[in-house]
Amino acid sequence: MLDSNLPSPPAYLQDPFVLDLLNRLLTNLEKGRVRPLQVNSKTLPPLFDYSSENSEYLWTLLVSLADEYGVFSIKTVRQKPGIEVYEKARLTLEPGAEALLRHWLQRPRKESYSDSWKSAVLPYASSFVEGGEALLSKPIQRQGKTAAEVVAGFARAAIFLRQPITLRALSAQCFWADSKFLDTREELVLRLLPNAVTFLLPRPLLIQVAMAEKTKRVLFVENQDTFLQLVAVQGRHSVLDNMTLVNSAGFRGASSRIRHRGATQFSHVHAYDDSNFLDFEDWWFTEGSAVIECYFWGDLDYSGMAILAALGRSFTGIEAWQPAYKAMLLYHQRGVSHSAEAAGKERQHDPGASHCTYANNRLLPLLRTTQQFVDQEVVAMGDLQAD
């Protein structure tokens, strides 16, 4: 609220120079910028427009704001002859100036988002577990939406969770048709909303596979283009004998649910033998039920090595597929490679030690030494040679 007991503004408040300065000082204060404002030709150019007769007059207005109204203090520096007295002077807002400026400029203090968030949660407290404590502890901001609109979305979600529904469907129904809004907030939904544990349906992982006639080996392939190239020669290239192909782009090895029944569904790219698939499926969901070798082939970069490490947490014993990586190493040796900066990979980080001896001893040391990467799509099917 604005304080009506504060002094009325001077008539010269309407001067554009004064209005601009005071609004700027108040805006800086709202943004947490509390340092003094130095007077120079960039910060207050009208004072240095020597073609105008107003510069000395404008300076007297600043002196009046300081001496008569206590808006700010002015600290000048000793000047050489011919230099204006206000050159490099510093204007420092006085304690209590904020209230005065808000009164003069009719700019009441805005409620913080944190306070708005708390005010928005309280009316819906009965709709949430523990009165919405999980929401109160961490406000969520969405561009173009108020705190009240975001909280109302969670309140609607509590109503929708009276029957089975997936997280993506719940998100689209309650948050502006945005099916991905809740993707990173599943834990919050489970903590916040009654019945979520009962009715929130896990979203199955859809995994693309190309079954071999007889599965004795499985190869996880990072990128779709390479996966489809391998599919095209499957059954005709000796390096792929008895090898079922899995496109790992959809899950990148990170899901702890990947080997749980009901959490995974398979999509087949070509016809397959039912009996062979049942054996494969049994191995997938019952670790140790059959002896099947596992391999991974992805980009020769830190991200690819991180996927290999992630897959190793679910598929113990998985190794980097050497026929492919040996081909990539040859390209690397010939200088057919790229830096992280050139390919937009600056955010990739060294994943550290892997469970795979070949990756630890050959691939990761090379990446660390050279900082040069190779994408798997450079490898032609003719480059692949069996060990």
> What CA–CA distance (Å, rounded) separates 57 from 304?
67
The DSSP annotation for 229-280 comes to HHHHHTTTSGGGTTEEEEEGGGTTT--TTTTSTTTEEEEESS---HHHHHHH
H helical segments located in 89-166: 97-105, 113-121, 133-136, 147-160
Degrees (nearest 5) of the Cα angle 165, 205, 304?
140
If one compares 3 and 34, the residue with the highest pLDDT of the two is 34
Query: Which pLDDT score is estimated for 304?
Result: 93
If one compares 87 and 50, the residue with the highest pLDDT of the two is 87
How is residue 70 written in tokens? Answer: 């206590």
The DSSP annotation for 28-62 comes to HHHTT--SPEEPSTTTSGGGG-TTSS-HHHHHHHH
Going by C-alpha positions, the residue among 260, 303, 270, 279 that lies closest to residue 218 is 279
If one compares 9 and 202, the residue with the highest pLDDT of the two is 9
Across all residues in the chain, what is the average pLDDT?
Answer: 90
Give the confidence band of 369 by pLDDT, cuts at 50, 70, 90.
very high
Residues 6+ apart with CB under 8 A from 311: 220, 248, 253, 294, 296, 318
Tokens 């009901």 found at: 262
Tell me which H or E stretch contains 328: helix 322-333
- Going from N- to C-terminal start, the domains of the chain cover 11-105, 113-201, 205-383
- How many Cα atoms occupy the beta-carbon half-sphere of 34 within 13 Å? 5
> What CA–CA distance (Å, rounded) separates 109 from 94?
18
Most confident stretch, 31-35, 95-99, 155-159, 252-256: 155-159
Indicate if the pLDDT at residue 322 is higher than 90: yes
164: left (phi over 0), alpha (psi -120 to 50) or beta: beta
Indicate if the pLDDT at residue 379 is higher than 90: yes
The DSSP annotation for 264-320 comes to EEEEESS---HHHHHHHHHHHHSTTSS--EEEEE--BSHHHHHHHHHHHHHSTT-EE
Tell me which H or E stretch contains 74: strand 72-75
Query: Which pLDDT score is estimated for 110?
Result: 78
Query: Which pLDDT score is estimated for 141?
Result: 93
263-277 residue pLDDT tens: 888 999 999 999 999
Indicate if the pLDDT at residue 1 is higher than 60: no
Angstrom distances, CA of residue 379 to CA of 210, 360, 369, 372: 20, 22, 22, 16
Instruction: Yes or no: say if 134 and 192 are a contact pair by the CB < 8 Å rule.
Output: yes
Degrees (nearest 5) of the Cα angle 289, 290, 292?
135
Query: Which pLDDT score is estimated for 289?
Result: 61
How is residue 234 written in tokens? Answer: 């499957």
Query: Which pLDDT score is estimated for 82?
Result: 74
Mean of the pLDDT values across residues 301-320?
Answer: 91
Question: Range with the lowest mean pLDDT among 145-149, 252-256, 332-336?
Answer: 252-256
Q: Which CATH architecture has domain 205-383?
A: 3-Layer(aba) Sandwich (3.40)
Helix axes 147-160, 113-121, angle to 10 degrees: 30
Q: How many CB atoms lie within 10 A of CB 1?
A: 6
The reported pTM is 0.59
Mean of the pLDDT values across residues 196-225?
Answer: 91
Indicate if the pLDDT at residue 254 is higher than 80: no
Strands 217-221 and 200-201: unpaired
